[in-house]
Amino acid sequence: MKTKAISLLVCFAASALMMAGSAKAQSAPAEKPPVYTYVSEWTVPRAMWADFKKEDDADIENMKKAMAEGTLVSFGSFAVLNHQDGQPTHGSWFSATSMANLMKVLEGLRNAPGATSPVLAASKHWDYILSSTNYNGHSGTFTNGYLRVARWPAKAGSNDPDGKILKATMVAILEKLFAEGALHSYTIDQENVHSEDPGMRFMVFVANGAEGLDKFNAAITSMGKSDPALGAAYGTLVDAHGHRDTLARVSTMTSK
């Protein structure tokens, strides 16, 4: 990515506990081959947002070509809604089934004419290289998405070597919402090249319009009453005190 009702997301850990009951009844999907994602986030001066969009549009065109060639499996661009001082305002991402394909696209973008434009030189910048085996996405191009990213550090001493707890809770809930059409896509990522603390987990989805956000919130509110033991098990995996969220508007995204 060029990427961070009643305080529903004050504590996503509490939400996870609520989701766990319904999640147990869902069948978690089998592990998939890894997908690698490159995320770029930028803090763009407000007066230069229009200039940034021109450069972003040019990058999107290059990513469309890479998708048509089979090098990428998804890409998208977003603008952050919950701004924080000195933190990202804009971002983009692209995903591939190998690091080689990911680097091929990255090199193309780095060598593009706009890579040294004044707006990029004036903007703070972060990059992440992530990988995931828990993901899904609807094929097509969408322009009505809302991106939610939850960052979770691992709790000291946590243990889920086969990902059974993760699949029975978070993956099952996201998969259900995806199947119902509330989400365009979701991934649960960890860094492949570490810039955050090892064990940091990124839970990411793109909602199908603002209504998809409401459906996600409603699912969290209603799904949590049948198996507190499983919810407590999920709570052993993550450190709620280190949790941070990003909400962004996705201008465009495409998935195979």
Q: Which amino acid is at 37?
A: T
Which segment, 8-22, 23-37, 233-247, is predicted with the most confidence on average?
233-247
Whether 59 is in a domain gets the answer yes
- The two structure tokens encoding residue 194: 């570490």
- Sign for the CA dihedral angle at 197, 160, 239, 2 comes to positive
* Residue/partner pairs of 8-12 with CB below 8 Å, 24 or more apart: 8/217, 8/220, 8/221, 9/150, 9/245, 11/240, 11/243, 12/150, 12/152, 12/203, 12/240, 12/243, 12/245
Residue 74 pLDDT: 98
Residue 78 pLDDT: 98
12-21: average pLDDT:
40
CA-to-CA dists, residue 223 to 21, 217, 231, 237, angstroms: 6, 10, 11, 20
Q: What is the CATH number of the domain that holds 116?
A: 3.30.70.100
Whether 6 is in a domain gets the answer no
Please give the residue range of the domain that contains residue 97: 12-255
Question: Per-residue pLDDT tens for 218-243?
Answer: 876 765 555 666 666 666 777 777 78
Distance CA 151, CA 202 (A): 5
Tracing tokens 């839970």 back to the chain, one arrives at: 203
Question: Per-residue pLDDT tens for 82-93?
Answer: 999 999 999 999
Whether 1 is in a domain gets the answer no
Spell out the residues 6+ positions from residue 134 whose beta carbon is closer than 8 angstroms to its own.
Answer: 29, 31, 32, 163, 166, 167, 171, 187, 188
48-71: average pLDDT:
97
Whether 42 is in a domain gets the answer yes
Count of the separate structural domains present in the chain: 1
Question: Per-residue pLDDT tens for 138-195?
Answer: 999 999 999 999 888 877 777 777 777 778 878 888 999 999 999 999 999 999 998 8
Q: Which amino acid is at 61?
A: E
Whether 40 is in a domain gets the answer yes
At 193 the three-state DSSP class reads strand
Spell out the residues 6+ positions from residue 85 whose beta carbon is closer than 8 angstroms to its own.
Answer: none
Whether 233 is in a domain gets the answer yes
Whether 5 is in a domain gets the answer no
Q: Worst-scoring range by mean pLDDT, 68-72, 124-128, 155-159? A: 155-159
Integer-rounded Cα radius of gyration of the chain? 18
Q: List 246's β-bridge partners, or say none.
A: 149
Give the angle 108-113-117 at the CA atoms, nearest 5°: 120
Residue 11 pLDDT: 38
Whether 26 is in a domain gets the answer yes
